[in-house]
Amino acid sequence: MKQKILMLILRFGVALAGVGYIIYALNWNDTVDADGVLHQGVINTIKSADWKLLVVSFLMVGLIYPIFSTRWWMLMRVRGMHCSWGKAFRLAMVGCFFNFCMPGSTGGDFVKGYYAAKGSNRKTDAIISVIVDRILGLLGLFIVAGVTGLTLLSDPRVRYITGIIWLCGLGGVIGASIYFSGRLRQMLRLDSIIAKLPGGGLLSKIDQAAVAYRGHVGALFIGLGMSTTLHLILVTATVTAGLALGIEQPLGLMFNVIPVLYLGAAVPISYQGLGVMEAIGEQLLVNPPLCTFNQLVGILMLSRLFQLFYSLLGALFLLKGDIHLHPAVDEKLEEKPSTEAQVDQTA
């Protein structure tokens, strides 16, 4: 309990530091540099925005929610956990709401995992579906950043970022290949090692639920395609907001850097990456007059605001109730995988 409180205090402190950093670094009033170039303050930056492009950006953000809800719904169905798409969508939106009400960006995952497992006779599988869903989401960000970076390798910043992304991707592929390979697992005696760890029984159960997805490679690739699509939409919406605020950086650079900023926000050390995204963006994207710090903060705040607006739909579902995926009667059953699940886990 004390550890949780300390982590909450730490995240709150990081968020406050991020806010302080943003307030300090912003140009609140119009200024003129030594070369006579006018730099707009915050208010004039917002006033001069192209509102039509901002509306387009806002509508694009709304497209991502049906996609990621469908991805999670599919990951559950292929493991034999059947629920309606509507229920999965409602719970996914509730998770989004909690993402914007708790420090970091993983609060919604805990909520989804809890309600997906509650009343289910396959609690471990339900929780693993949430974890796999999150991993596919992160992989989609890596793909968008890595592929778009290949289009602008002449820029040393893009070349550096893209190189790190592909190295991380290669490491991930190697690690996943070892983890999911039955032969390599047997050679390395992973099952035995996991069983001997503290809490080995629970870890073995989690491990079996995760490894079972190797029997659904097609679904994983479809999910990865969905992740790539929704993150491409989100990045495009953010770039569009940047164009609305007058950012003139090359599109290739923006499509390479912005996914990196969202990866920074995915690390649960600050509320929605507040301050973290701005600090990274200042180093990689800010270069007046092509992009000012005010414009960078503007597009990131707009992105958060747009996502917060859609996430409020989750609050409505939460107030209405009935966000369980499974009927309450199922809570009387023991957590015992179905015959289909047992076959998958031994595949």
pTM of this structure: 0.79
127 assigned to some structural domain = yes
> What domain range includes position 315?
40-329
113 assigned to some structural domain = yes
Under 8 Å between Cβ of 274 and 16: no
Q: Which residues contact 149 (CB under 8 A, 6 or more apart)?
A: 158, 159, 161, 162, 165, 252, 256
Model pLDDT for residues 40-93, shown as the tens digit of each residue: 666 777 778 899 999 999 999 999 999 999 999 999 999 888 888 999 999 999
pLDDT at 339: 43
pLDDT at 332: 42
4 assigned to some structural domain = no
Q: Which residues contact 160 (CB under 8 A, 6 or more apart)?
A: none
What is the tally of structural domains in the chain? 1
Across the chain, which distance is largest between two alpha carbons, in Å? 74
pLDDT at 29: 62
Alpha helices in 48-189 (DSSP H): 51-62, 64-77, 85-99, 107-117, 123-149, 156-180, 182-188
66 assigned to some structural domain = yes
Enumerate residue ranges in the chain where pLDDT < 50.
104, 329-347
pLDDT at 331: 41
215 assigned to some structural domain = yes
Tokens 């550890």 belong to 3
The H or E element that residue 32 is part of is strand 31-32
pLDDT at 194: 85
pLDDT at 20: 63
18 assigned to some structural domain = no
268 assigned to some structural domain = yes
Under 8 Å between Cβ of 209 and 131: no
